[in-house]
A and B are shown apart, each in its own frame.
Chain A
Amino acid sequence: MQIKVTFYSYFKDLTGCGETIQDVSDGTTLAALYTQLIARFSKLAAMEKSTLIAVGVEYQPRTYILKEGDQVALFPPVQGG
């Protein structure tokens, strides 16, 4: 299945794009998705531990198993205020 991934803040600079589509197999977790994205966007590797991940508008753990239609957002720690 295809998962739409959106990048925010300076992650857009690290990847050179605001969003991408990643092909994943059934049962793929967010952790596995991140590993696949690092293979395409190597600068994400240094941010792996601090990256926040949302599916839709909810934060999800790395163990979350992706489903058809999920929209993933990757971004650095937030800084409102």
Chain B
Amino acid sequence: MVNSREKTLTILKRELSITTDAINEPVLLARRSMSDGMGAAICFLGVVRGEEGADSITAIDYETFQQMAEHQFKLIFDEIEKRWPIESLRLVHRIGMVRVGEPSLWVEVISPHRGEAFAACQFLIDEMKRAVPIWKKPISRRSQSAG
């Protein structure tokens, strides 16, 4: 059970990056910081699969409406802050061409207990897929070899 002090904890660290740069996990992990009261740090990595539906693909080309995407992520972060005691929330979404096997999404949530960290991470990704203007165009292996 979460006590009232924890419920009002504001997210001390918010980091959002929507970038064409490759996601560099070691660098991101090296920048992790947790206060003594935090007992849970979870990371989620979304990786491009080699199949999209029945099609074999080589990459996904991600497009965004960046200004709106940043705003919608902020709204989601605000909602998470209301619902769970989260100390740190960091998210990187890659756009542009991301090859199969490479990560397109990296999320880290730090909280006092695992329950709220998992719940907040799940909520964040669900809401992102509902509201954040990012689209993907799979690059088919067939179309690429035909070209």
Contact = CB atoms under 8 A, between A and B. Distances in A.
B68 A80 contact: no
How extensive is the interface on chain B, given as a class? 20 to 34
B125 to A, nearest CB: 6
A41 interface: no
B135 A81 contact: no
Given A81-B46, A81-B104, A8 B132 contact: no
Interface in A60-81: 73, 75-76, 78-81
A7 to B, nearest CB: 10
B133 interface: yes
Contacts of A79: 129, 134-136
Interface string B97-135: 000000011000000000000000000010011111111
Contacts of B63: 8-9
Q: Chain A binding site: helix, strand, loop or mixed by DSSP?
A: loop
A54 to B, nearest CB: 6
Contacts of B62: 80
Contact of A57 (B71, B104, B129): B71
A78 B130 contact: yes
Interface of B: 46, 62-63, 65, 67-69, 71-72, 93, 104-105, 125, 128-137
Interface of A: 6, 8-10, 52, 54, 56-59, 73, 75-76, 78-81
